[in-house]
Structure 1
Amino acid sequence: MRRRLRRGMDVVEGRLRGCSLEAADPFVAEVVAHLIEAGGKRLRPLLTLLGAEFGPAERRAEVWDGVVTAAVVAELVHVASLHHDDVMDEAQTRHGVSSVNARWGNGVATFSGDWLLSKAAQLAAELGPAMVQLQARTSRRLVEGQMLELVGPSERQRRLDHYLAVISGKSAALIASSLCAGALQAGATPSETDSLAEYGEHLGVAFQIGDDLLDITAPSERLGKERGRDLAVGVESLPVLLALEDDRPQGAELRELLAAGPDATPEARSRTLALLCASPAVDQARVMRDDRLRRARRALTVLPDRPARHALASLCGFVASRTR
């Protein structure tokens, strides 16, 4: 399985880098290749390949090309979402390089993200109607999650419920669909595909909570982007939401600092980060992350006992270890 995964990821990488060459204009090619060339975890295509491991072994050679194409689709959609997210967040860096919006402007970043989505749709169409429907549902959930984050919670909605709805769309949707795409292309059973989707939803929520924690606790060099970026643009991440409920004197100071919003001075943001790191909210967020990871592991128990199932279980440990 490891050899198949390595070989598959090598092919995926080559195809990703080749996608930009299909752009009709050299400038477009340069822009859409920018974040692809910068690299990244490539988690979504890896999950696609792992999802395919639950298809019949005798069909692996037959479905190989479709599985790899599905993995490319998953990463193209993810990179497109980064183009759009960085516009919304006014981010300056991504994966250790200048963000597309910082280098070429918001308009170029938005339309280059659209180009990547259109390329993903083209590849999905080559795989058949089921893959088109899956990719379309995923893109819709990504957009809905981004819109929910933009408009904020309704008057009757708890902030925590709104947060979970946002990350379900922005993070969990693509992780779950990446697994489903591989299973779908490889001929896994509907029950296996459903279990992978459930696992992916919980893993995706846990992964985003981990990102929220990293934004507060990790140095910028490790993140590949500015530390405290969520605070800088006024995004209420999970630790922030939990810290707002802290009734200690430090909690009162934190609420006052957070009330300043994205217009706060760098000094105020630095103090806010220090208070957040010392707040019980960090441990509370870890507890919520670990609960999601337990639910993800439980979803795996109905899958066949294969190396891919153990790899997915190990991935839960990786997500937990990122922000111990």
Structure 2
Amino acid sequence: MTAATAPPPAMTSVRGGGTGASEADLLAEVVGLVGKDLAACERLYAEELASSHPAVRDVRDHVAKYRGKRLRPILTLLAGAACGGVNAKHHTLAAVVEMVHAATLVHDDVLDGADVRRHVATVHSRWNPRTAVLFGDFLFTHAFHLAATVDAAACRAIGAATNAVCEGELTQIHERGNVDLTEAEYFRIVAGKTAALTAVSAELGAVHAGADAATAAALRGYGEDLGVAFQIADDLLDLVGEEGCVGKTLGSDLVEKKLTLPIIRLRDRLPHGKVQELKALLADPTADARDRLLPLLKQTGALESAAATARERAAAAIARLDVLPDSPAKGLLERLARFSVRRGS
């Protein structure tokens, strides 16, 4: 299926596959409220990425198969609807944030050595790492080309968010193998690599609906908290999910020696002797590292502790919406926050 013919966004199950009843209801309400706007975003996305080169079209059409939930464009459109109404600028910006996100996915799969995303081969595994890196760059350059058609401020905001994403990823790479990574350092990485883009998606939705500075800041904060909650849930899935359901390579964080919140909390809850054993495993992970750690993660409460933090950040995101009047769009933003953490339940 090509980008030009892709249907409205499909939200995956909280466990990564299939469609549960509450999820289907949420998707139906999103489409009912902003479905035409999502379709307009998809058209712009496809038009911007049109190419006369068959090799480029092949990769573009392949990436369309795993673009996923369209969370970031949905945030832009719902924030716009909640703050006064959606217009053509929202359609463009929704396409832009989705391009930036798709680019990070293509590059992340190279960095993580992941072979599968959403049940299909990653670009680097189907073609090669050079193709993946260049196609990710292709998506980035088209995103900024399209953002420039809105205004300079929007382009700068997207640029700042993309810079933060790259800084977060670079910091994470630098910290790989650091078995003493602190929670503060973990949250600093997540604020960049994940939350920066969800934050700007919601903020731009508010700004281009005419929201005042305080409301736009609240929507930005909502996006930040949502992004952190979403990432923690993703980290939990990497440890407890089932690859056949989640649709991507699992256990990659351990293989890549990246400390995530559940692992940090496990380390900090173990007695000294066990901590040294854990650090030795994290420094040189074996193929069965995930299976070996799961009992400890459960026994120490590290999994539940991390899940509780994700729920707290989702609740904080919802609280930021108090600046908005009640509306269907506000209600959907609240439900999206709750949905983000139920993925790992």
Same fold (TM over 0.5): yes
Change beyond 3 A, Cα 1:97–1:279: farther
Distance 1:120 1:274 in 2: 44
1:176 aligns to 2:204 (yes or no) = no
1:272 aligns to 2:272 (yes or no) = no
Task: Map 1:80-99 onto structure 2 (within 5 A).
Answer: 80-99=103-122
For residue 292 of structure 1, the aligned residue among 313, 316, 320 is 313
Where do 5+ consecutive residues of structure 1 fail to align? none
**Counterpart of 1:271 in structure 2: which amino acid?**
R
1:225 aligns to 2:284 (yes or no) = no
Aligned to 2:59: 31
Q: Residue 68 of structure 2: SS of its match in structure 1?
A: coil
Aligned to 1:53: 81
Q: Which runs of 4+ in 1 moved over 6 A?
A: none
Task: Map 1:148-297 onto structure 2 (within 5 A).
Answer: 148-152=171-175, 159-247=182-270, 252=274, 256-257=277-278, 259-261=280-282, 263-297=284-318
Q: Tell me whether 171-180 or 24-33 shows the greater mean CA deviation.
A: 24-33
Aligned to 1:44: 72
Deviation at 1:24, TM superposition (A): 4.3
- How many residues end up aligned between the 2 structures? 315
Contact between 2:202 and 2:222, CA under 8 Å: does it hold in 1? no
Contact between 2:225 and 2:317, CA under 8 Å: does it hold in 1? yes
Distance 1:97 1:19 in 2: 24
Contact between 2:168 and 2:192, CA under 8 Å: does it hold in 1? yes
Q: Tell me whether 255-264 or 122-131 shows the greater mean CA deviation.
A: 255-264
Change beyond 3 A, Cα 1:107–1:278: farther
Deviation at 1:41, TM superposition (A): 0.8
Q: Tell me whether 258-267 or 227-236 shows the greater mean CA deviation.
A: 258-267
Deviation at 1:12, TM superposition (A): 2.4
Percent identity, aligned pairs only, is: 34
1:8 aligns to 2:37 (yes or no) = yes
1:306 aligns to 2:327 (yes or no) = yes
1:74 aligns to 2:103 (yes or no) = no
Q: Residue 40 of structure 1: SS of its match in structure 2?
A: coil
Aligned to 2:340: 319
Deviation digits for residues 191-229 of structure 1 (CA, Å, limit 9, x no counterpart): 211110011111111110010111111111222112212
Distance 2:233 2:120 in 1: 22
Deviation digits for residues 247-298 of structure 1 (CA, Å, limit 9, x no counterpart): 259x82x752552347533234432344334441101101211221222122
Q: Residue 186 of structure 2: SS of its match in structure 1?
A: helix
Deviation at 1:162, TM superposition (A): 1.0
Contact between 2:298 and 2:304, CA under 8 Å: does it hold in 1? no
Give the superposed CA RMSD. Answer: 2.4
**Counterpart of 2:336 in structure 1: which amino acid?**
L
Contact between 2:67 and 2:102, CA under 8 Å: does it hold in 1? no
Change beyond 3 A, Cα 1:91–1:274: farther
Distance 1:271 1:39 in 2: 32
Where do 5+ consecutive residues of structure 2 fail to align? 1-28
**Counterpart of 2:99 in structure 1: which amino acid?**
L
Deviation at 1:321, TM superposition (A): 1.9
Distance 1:280 1:269 in 2: 16
**Counterpart of 1:140 in structure 2: which amino acid?**
N
Contact between 1:232 and 1:269, CA under 8 Å: does it hold in 2? no
Distance 1:287 1:227 in 2: 22
Deviation at 1:55, TM superposition (A): 3.9
Task: Map 1:118-157 onto structure 2 (within 5 A).
Answer: 118-152=141-175
Change beyond 3 A, Cα 1:158–1:257: closer
Greater share of helix residues, 1 or 2? 1
Distance 1:87 1:158 in 2: 23
Q: Residue 91 of structure 1: SS of its match in structure 2?
A: coil
Aligned to 2:20: none
Contact between 2:239 and 2:290, CA under 8 Å: does it hold in 1? no
Distance 2:294 2:111 in 1: 21
Change beyond 3 A, Cα 1:103–1:277: farther
Task: Map 1:97-112 onto structure 2 (within 5 A).
Answer: 97-112=120-135
